[in-house]
Chain A
Amino acid sequence: MSSVGVEVSRVAFATQPEQGGAPVSVSVIVPVIERPESLADLYREFSAPLRAAGRSFEFLFVCEPWAYSLAEPIIDLARAGEPIRVLEVALSAGETTLLKAAGAHAKAEIVVTLPAYRRVEAEALLTLITRVEQGADIALARRWPRRDSWINRIQSRILHALIGRVAGAELHDIACGVRAMRRDVLLDLPVYGDLARFLPLFAMREGYRVVEVNAPQHKGDVQTRIYGPGIYLRRMLDVLGLFFLLRFTDKPLRFFGLIGSALLLAGAAVLVTLFIQRVGGQGIADRPVLLLGVLLVVLGVQAIALGLVGEIVVYLHAPSRRPYRLARPSNADLPER
């Protein structure tokens, strides 16, 4: 599992052995990050509709080291025969890494990612799963109708408008985190660390079919969220990272070169002006703007040089990666004959 980065260090408890056992149609992955609600309650609430619909399922709780103890009540449930497995990873890692680690252990072809806190009404899981069975690669829950305060909605609007511009994707609720997807899509996606939030965008980038499904917002999710400035700053960094990762990873010089050329041109303009003045007889030794001109040139060269290093790395890796993905043949795509 070198691609995942963090291995599951211990399967703390599993009702069934790793291999074999009854076939499972859905694996629900719950990454235990941040401050979760009672995991046992969460399990009861979200397994109920699956059970009522007669689906075979398993719940995978993936825990970072600090959360090992939170899983105790879940392990009790598992001992009592519930289809629960608890996976412990060895290191703290981002949500994406936990999802991928659990995905590698999931038995079903379809996985559902479920945050460890309530986002949507439990019945939504069934709709999401159905959409994937009908041919979508990822079905995202969008909390709608929303019961939130207007502050939340405005924040969300702004973030999604930004993301829409950057990624060219029209999604409405990327933060929700409740999604159903094919297991191999989860494992294949080039996401890591905290990029889980943007997983659907990367999936679209890889040519996977992503659909949004309206799901009523859970009562417990309704609260006004106003964060510290740090969080907003981090979101902005996320958007910048997204902008680069989605568009320029195979052509870094387009990004760095554009910034670098702009700086270089600005610097050159300053220096040329100074040069003309110097030739005209005006001294430049007491002109701090000379410092500015040279600084701009230096920064421009640095940006371009960095882009070139990026290009060299991309060039070196080109033989080991394909710049495209073929469409997955689906029943609808097959010719009639």
Chain B
Amino acid sequence: MTDQDRDRQFEAARASAAQRDAGTRPALSVVVPVYNEEENIPPLVSAIRDALAYTDSWELLLVDDGSTDTTVAIAEELAARDGRIRVLKLARHYGQTAAMQAGFDHARGAVVVTMDGDLQNDPADIPRLVARLEEGFDLVAGYRERRQDKVLTRKIPSWVANRLIRRVTGVPIRDNGCSLKAYRRELLDRLHLYADLHRFIPAVAAATAGARITEIPVRHHPRLHGRSKYGLSRTVKVMLDLITVKTIQEVRERPLQLFGVGALGACLCGIAFAIAAVVAHASFITQKAQSVVFPGVSLLWFGLAFYLLMLGLIAEAALREELPRGRGSMPVVREVGGK
């Protein structure tokens, strides 16, 4: 009997055991979005297996984000040998946020850990994340203590972005870009990711799902196989997304206030120019252009104020439509005290 055969037999026995208690949910789900990571998957899976040897109640969910290489075949091969590994295939390449949300939707564990598929995160950190979560947090984020990336293109932009995100959202997380995070199932039920919000998960979780968040240092390794799938061009996108997150955070239940403030500002500008027009008219002989420019500017500002107010009303109408279901209703997440 060769090693491989023995291996297979062992795995088969384990798979059937896993099948037996398929009805029971695993304690821990590890969700890994993968996109063209054929070389990284086998070492990743064995590293996860080693890291989780302390418990048998886990599952690994590999979310294939439309890979064009042999990632799926390799993942399915591994899944066929180990019943704790599941492969979820997306219909095309959607991006990391959608892949993560797919993982969240299909993970069965009471605790869900996400990590990158490129081996830069270390699965050996998972037990510490989970332990920290169990101290009473909904989300434990890892931060890369000694980050192994290029300084100019990765570390500096990331440092700036993280500072900015921290300042704007007020959520004290120093490394938003690290995928290694642990989540409580109940939090994920309230968290809905879309577009590119994966970069702001702590902020979105705090703002829209009321998460108790903390962070711990995690290891970070240089990339061995494959290419990094990020670039510098994200800056503008991140800025705009940050505006979105901030807006949602601040005004998700009262958009008219945001637009009202804007309208007030525009009104003040309008009044200022109206006064300037009167002063200009009174103080020197009016030429044709002078009688037009300041009043015109003033009217533009009033026009903007009017427009913003109308827009705020539309936003309120959209909110009202959603009130009876979805975002409008806020579940009670915990009951404390009492009996």
CA distance A316 to B88 in the complex (A): 27
Query: What 0/1 readout, one digit per residue, does chain A (315-330) give for beta carbons within 8 Å of chain B?
Result: 1111111111111100
A-B contact pairs, 28 of them (CB 8 A): A204-B92, A205-B92, A206-B91, A207-B92, A251-B244, A253-B244, A284-B293, A285-B290, A291-B292, A295-B300, A298-B266, A298-B303, A302-B307, A305-B262, A305-B308, A305-B311, A308-B243, A309-B311, A309-B315, A311-B248, A313-B318, A314-B194, A316-B327, A317-B322, A318-B194, A325-B92, A328-B91, A335-B77
Binds A, one of B96-104, B112-120, B131-139, B158-166: B96-104
Identify whether the interface residues of B are mostly helix, strand, loop, or mixed.
helix
A290: which of B208, B297, B318 is its contact (CB, 8 Å)?
A: B297
Considering the complex, give the chain A residue whose CB is closest to the CB of B323.
A316
Query: Any chain A CB within 8 A of the CB of B45?
Result: no
A298: which of B88, B258, B289, B304 is its contact (CB, 8 Å)?
A: B304
Contact status B319-A314, CB under 8 Å: no
List chain A residues, Cβ under 8 A from B296: 291
Contact status B105-A312, CB under 8 Å: no
Identify whether the interface residues of A are mostly helix, strand, loop, or mixed.
helix
CA distance A285 to B280 in the complex (A): 8
Q: B residues bordering A, Cβ < 8 Å?
A: 66, 72, 76-77, 79-80, 88-92, 94, 97-99, 101-102, 105, 192-196, 208, 236-237, 240-241, 243-244, 247-248, 251-252, 255, 258-259, 262, 266, 276, 280, 287, 289-290, 292-294, 296-297, 300-301, 303-304, 307-308, 311, 314-315, 318-319, 321-322, 325-328
CA distance A319 to B99 in the complex (A): 16
Contact status A315-B326, CB under 8 Å: no
Query: Any chain B CB within 8 A of the CB of A280?
Result: no
List chain B residues, Cβ under 8 A from A206: 91-92
CA distance A298 to B267 in the complex (A): 12
Contact status B290-A286, CB under 8 Å: yes
Given A306-B311, A323-B97, A312 contacting B193 (CB threshold 8 A):
no
Query: What 0/1 readout, one digit per residue, does chain A (282-307) give for beta carbons within 8 Å of chain B?
Result: 00111110110011001001101110
Query: Any chain B CB within 8 A of the CB of A337?
Result: yes
B262: which of A301, A316, A317, A327 is its contact (CB, 8 Å)?
A: A301
The number of A-B residue pairs with CB atoms under 8 Å apart is 159
B287: which of A286, A313, A318, A327 is its contact (CB, 8 Å)?
A: A286
B326: which of A250, A295, A320 is its contact (CB, 8 Å)?
A: A320
List chain B residues, Cβ under 8 A from A218: none
Given contacts A321-B194, A323-B194, 13 further A-B contacts (CB under 8 A): A254-B240, A291-B296, A298-B266, A301-B308, A305-B259, A305-B307, A308-B244, A312-B248, A313-B315, A315-B244, A318-B193, A318-B327, A324-B90
CA distance A250 to B95 in the complex (A): 13
Number of residues from A at the complex interface, CB < 8 A: 49
CA distance A287 to B280 in the complex (A): 13
Considering the complex, give the chain A residue whose CB is closest to the CB of B294.
A285
A-B complex: 7 closest residue pairs judged by Cβ atoms: A207-B91, A207-B92, A324-B98, A327-B89, A318-B192, A251-B195, A286-B289
Contact status A325-B90, CB under 8 Å: yes
Q: A residues bordering B, Cβ < 8 Å?
A: 204-208, 250-251, 253-254, 257-258, 284-288, 290-291, 294-295, 298, 301-302, 304-306, 308-309, 311-328, 333, 335, 337
CA distance A291 to B295 in the complex (A): 10
Report the minimal beta-carbon distance from A327 to chain B, rounded to whole angstroms.
4
Contact status A251-B196, CB under 8 Å: yes
Considering the complex, give the chain A residue whose CB is closest to the CB of B237.
A254
Report the minimal beta-carbon distance from B134 to chain A, rounded to whole angstroms.
27
Report the minimal beta-carbon distance from A154 to chain B, rounded to whole angstroms.
32
CA distance A311 to B77 in the complex (A): 41
Contact status A324-B101, CB under 8 Å: yes
CA distance A319 to B208 in the complex (A): 11
Report the minimal beta-carbon distance from B229 to chain A, rounded to whole angstroms.
17
Contact status A315-B307, CB under 8 Å: no
CA distance A327 to B304 in the complex (A): 46
List chain B residues, Cβ under 8 A from A287: 289, 293
B76: which of A294, A306, A309, A335 is its contact (CB, 8 Å)?
A: A335
Report the minimal beta-carbon distance from B98 to chain A, rounded to whole angstroms.
4
List chain B residues, Cβ under 8 A from A286: 287, 289-290, 293
Contact status B240-A253, CB under 8 Å: yes
List chain B residues, Cβ under 8 A from A314: 194-195
Report the minimal beta-carbon distance from B85 to chain A, rounded to whole angstroms.
12
Contact status A316-B322, CB under 8 Å: yes
Contact status A309-B304, CB under 8 Å: no
Contact status A319-B326, CB under 8 Å: yes
